[in-house]
Amino acid sequence: MTSRTDVAAIIDHTLLKPEATPADVAALVAEAKDLGVLAICVSPSMLPIADPGELVVATVVGFPSGQVKPEIKAAEAKRAVADGAAEVDMVINIGSAVAGDFDAVEADIRGVVEASGRSLVKVIIESAALTDEQIVEVCRRAETAGAGFVKTSTGFHPAGGASSHAVALMRETVGDRLGVKASGGIRTVEAAEEMIAAGASRLGLSGSKGILEALGD
């Protein structure tokens, strides 16, 4: 079993529900500090975070559909970074990937990377909505565009969230050059360990506390 400390060190403690309030975000931050996780991930309207302490602050852009014009997505990223986001989780235009327009996918990612400056960009590919071939090509384009991570899912798509198959395929494609974040539907220790074994170097969790408590001390 993976140690509690090791798992906490790769968790993005996440709150992206549209009904979340500033009080909910404050509670998330407090809980994240208590749990000793790496990062929090919140909606961009919740930035800046008043007192993140040592937590990495992440946010999302083009979320959750990805169907935002590239210049708007880039502007959203630029504003998020100005508001204190050290990491930007962007959703690709999934329709472009499904249609095979990978040049558009790459340009979209590149725009966000450039707008984000030194902040890390994680590219949400919505893997459950793509074929294996599409997953591979999107991951390749994300690397070419300068992203630091590829990420499985928003957690909001009806096709589903993370799978160990997608994570393994993503890891195989990017090697050790990029990070791989598994997110969406990871609710048990077993699921978290399965994603880590498949190659995930970051976990996006809303139920971090339960998983970490199940791992013990």
Catalytic (active site) residue 78:
no
**Residues, the chain, total?**
217
DSSP calls for the chain: ---HHHHHTTEEEEE--TT--HHHHHHHHHHHHHHT-SEEEE-GGGPSPS--TTPEEEEEESTTT--S-HHHHHHHHHHHHHTT-SEEEEEP-HHHHHTT-HHHHHHHHHHHHHHHTTSEEEEE--GGGS-HHHHHHHHHHHHHTT-SEEE---S--TT-S--HHHHHHHHHHHTTTSEEEEESS--SHHHHHHHHHHT-SEEEES-HHHHHHHH--
- One of 12, 89, 108, 122 is an active-site residue; which one? 89
Catalytic (active site) residue 132:
no
Find the farthest-apart pair of alpha carbons in the chain and give their distance in angstroms, rounded. 48
- One of 73, 78, 122, 151 is an active-site residue; which one? 151
Catalytic (active site) residue 73:
no
- One of 73, 78, 122, 181 is an active-site residue; which one? 181
Single-letter amino acid code for the residue at 1: M
Antiparallel, parallel or unpaired: β 120-124 and 11-15: unpaired
Are the beta carbons of 122 and 87 closer than 8 angstroms? yes
Residues recognised as catalytic: 89, 151, 181
